[in-house]
Structure 1
């Protein structure tokens, strides 16, 4: 669960930082005005692409954790199924 929280928190921070940069650049280019809709869309795109490269280690740790939990659950299911077949 820790990996999920860390990855999600880092994604949120990355989005907020991207949003701040996009709004700042738009305000500089358009004389202090910016379109909130396009700022959010651009921030989502930038943070999504950046997270693919920047958060690779956290994403791998999260995926490894999910994989290990899934394999343990599968093994437990197979064990219960085998015990049921014996009875």
Structure 2
């Protein structure tokens, strides 16, 4: 569960930081306080997705390893229960 929280918070943080930078640059270039929501949102989504692929590789691998370990344990429990059922 910890790996999920760390990875998710890192992704959200990366998105928020990307959006803040894009909105800040937009405000500096346009010289206005009004920032449209859609275009900076889409640009931040793309930038944070690409950046997270490279920057969050470690947390993503730890999360994937945790999910894989839990899946293997569940499969082992299922197979054990099935073999006991077959013996009865």
Aligned length: 87
RMSD: 0.8
Normalised TM-score (structure 1): 0.96
Taking the TM superposition and a 5 Å limit, the aligned residue runs for 1:25-44 are 25-32=25-32, 33-44=34-45
- Alignment correspondent of 2:73: 72
Gaps of 5+ in 1: none
**1:10-58 Cα deviation digits (max 9, x unpaired):** 1111011000000011111222243211011111111111000000000
Normalised TM-score (structure 2): 0.95
Instruction: Tell me the SS of whatever aligns to 1:11.
Output: helix
Counterparts of 1:45 and 1:29, CA distance in 2: 21
Counterparts of 1:27 and 1:80, CA distance in 2: 62
1:58 aligns with 2:59: yes
